[in-house]
Amino acid sequence: MQKTIITRTPEPALPPLEGLHPVLQRVLRARGVATAEELEYGLDRLLPPQRLEGVEAAARLVADAVQEGRRILVVGDFDCDGATSSALMLLALRAMGAAAVDYLVPNRFDYGYGLTPEIVEIAAGRRPDLLITVDNGVSSIHGVARARELGMQVVVTDHHLPGETLPEADAMVNPNLVPGHPLSATAGVGVAFYLLLAVRAELRGRGWFAGRPEPNMAEWLDLVALGTVADVVPLAYNNRILVHQGIRRIAAGRCRPGILALLELAGRDHRRIRAQDLGFVLGPRINAAGRLDDISVGIECLLAGTLEEARPLAARLDAHNRERRQIEEEMKRQAEAHLESLSLAREALPWGLCLHHEDWHQGVIGILASRVKERYLRPVIAFAPGGEGELKGSARSIPGFHIRDALEEVAACHPGLIRRFGGHAMAAGLTLEADAFDEFARRFDEVARRHLRPEDLEPVILSDGEIEPDQLGLELADALAAAGPWGQGFPEPLFHGGFEVVQQRLLKEKHWKLVVRPTGGDTLIDAIAFNLADQFPGPLPSRLRLVYRLERNEFHGTISAQLQVVHMEVEK
């Protein structure tokens, strides 16, 4: 598929960023970075907990429970954000002196998402005095009501967008209750972290830590970083601080043994970890447990106190992830076969694409929706049977199309068509009656066509421009790496340019290993193009236009700059 390369435009109103490499200045100004101070990632630059409405009331309730030795039950979500939130809450509250704190996560296949009345009945069997939700709860109206009927206090911590009606919890902490809140991009684990900071401050003010150790909350920033990146929330400045600090702890080996065990299984050196490893190495392995079985395996792995305890749990997560990949490949093959059977050109496909198959796995449809979205460049909802005549759907969107708002528009215009829904701008979940699929697919496509333009569906690569040949080296590669963490909403820099292919070698029949020379330059530089052999199966032409990341490469003790190629085409 031909892609258009568009160069990002730096914000012209921003002043120069003194003391930084000129290419890095260009990159940062294109991302709206106004001052060099925004690259300072010290913990003293975090927004304070007091900026979160409701956090002080919630902290008082939790502190009361800790001081009085009451039973606390944490109710989490079945993804990596929920797992890290649950583990963080248990570890920190226990370190603060909570006498009885445990967790409960609903099995997605039996109970669905969030604090439902059914989950509350199970929770009641543990006789908790206080329920704390993490990464869920803002839409749990009936579950919160049932918990309070049974005499439990409820503190909701969440980051999902609220509906028109809020649950009547004893306290609620969610930055997205306030439009435009400065912490609106915070993941569920970040919201939990902020509540715990406030709980510690409340207990400190009561003199609780006199004679007992006061925990250092930075000890668990590895969990905050992992959940933040894995949940693909925008890496706004506050999130970049949290992720940077967590990565530093992992790189130093001062992190949860479960994280080290997962990296060990994946063959990754923790000392060289990057934000991308959290999203593409660790996150999928923890998520796989919740997708196929029970996220408790992931939580127990993160709670493990030693590598010896963590390794068998990490192995189970790795096995789940391999099984998930096999299921995903088969589902992707079925989806592509279905789309090809429609005998439609790509341009004639629905703008809002809905897919359904009776054999699809409910826990993997989110990944399938992402893969189809990436290939066909339109918002996608994949559905699987959910039992009792229902379909469970997982939605993934493209820039410029707010998927949760789109579902709300469908629900408002066609009452009763959607049973339940919730989510973010880029991802959402929903439930339909099975016989409503065809009508929903039509209505969703109508909404997509109202809000999208034809150019929104065209394949585009955003580049940070060209790099002068004499700047293609380690100095710039290291400067770019140090300016991260890069991720959602703060994308890792991509560059493009013309190159002469000096050497080429095919690796494992799918990767190209190259030595190239930039146009107008004399210096040779290594390049690696992963999974691009299907686009260029034969010998490469002598000149190519490459889109690439500039990075440091360490191999057998040799350190050099390298291009990691993400797209290549014949230079015209």
Last residue of a domain, one of 437, 457, 477: 457
| pLDDT at residue 538, rounded to an integer | 78
Condensed to tens digits (0 to 9), the pLDDT of residues 157-208 reads 999 989 889 999 999 999 999 999 999 999 999 999 999 999 999 999 999 9
Nearest to 516 by CA among 467, 464, 478: 467
513: Cα separation from own chain's centroid: 30
Residue 31 lies in a domain: no
Tens-digit pLDDT profile for residues 201-226:
999 999 999 989 999 999 999 999 99
User: C-alpha distances in angstroms, 333 versus 29, 349, 376, 464?
Assistant: 41, 18, 14, 34
In a domain, 346, yes or no: yes
Domain boundary among the residues 286, 302, 318 is at: 318
What single DSSP character describes residue 352?
S
Same domain, 215 and 290: yes
Shared-domain flag, residues 349 and 219: no
- Domain of residue 382 covers 342-457
Residue with tokens 């949940």: 231
Q: How many domains does the chain have?
A: 3
Does residue 438 share a domain with residue 511?
Answer: no
Residue 49 CB-half CA count within 13 A: 21
Identity of residue 41:
Y
Residue 312 sits in the same domain as residue 182: yes
Q: Is residue 104 part of a domain?
A: yes
Q: How confident is the model at residue 246 (pLDDT cuts 50, 70, 90)?
A: very high
Whether residues 193 and 310 share a domain: the answer is yes
Q: Are 117 and 141 in contact (CB under 8 A)?
A: no
Give the integer Cα–Cα distance in Å for 567 and 378.
20
> Looking at the structure, do residues 123 and 265 belong to the same domain, yes or no?
yes
Question: pLDDT tens digits, residue range 280-325?
Answer: 999 999 999 888 888 999 999 999 999 999 999 999 999 999 999 9
Identity of the amino acid at 267:
G
CATH number where 494 lies:
2.40.50.460
Residue 323, token pair as written in the block: 């099984």
Q: What is the mean pLDDT of residues 42-71?
A: 97
Q: Are residues 390 and 264 in the same domain?
A: no
Residue type, 143: G
359 and 311, same structural domain? no
Residues 198 and 246 occupy one common structural domain: yes
- Residue at a domain's end among 430, 457, 484: 457
User: Does position 486 have pLDDT exceeding 90, yes or no?
Assistant: yes
- Mean pLDDT across the stretch 420-440? 90
Based on the fold, state whether residues 109 and 62 are members of the same structural domain. yes
**Rounded to whole angstroms, how far apart are CA atoms 92 and 196?**
7
Task: Kindly state whether residue 431 falls inside one of the protein's structural domains.
Answer: yes
Question: How close are the terminal C-alpha atoms of the chain, in Å?
Answer: 17
Q: Strand, helix or coil at 59?
A: helix
Quick check: 187 and 489 in contact, CB under 8 A?
no
Q: What CATH number should be reported for the domain holding residue 173?
A: 3.90.1640.30
Assess whether pLDDT exceeds 80 at residue 343. Answer: no
Mean pLDDT of the 508-515 span:
92
| Within a domain: 335 | no
**The domain spanning residue 350 has which CATH number?**
3.10.310.30
In a domain, 334, yes or no: no
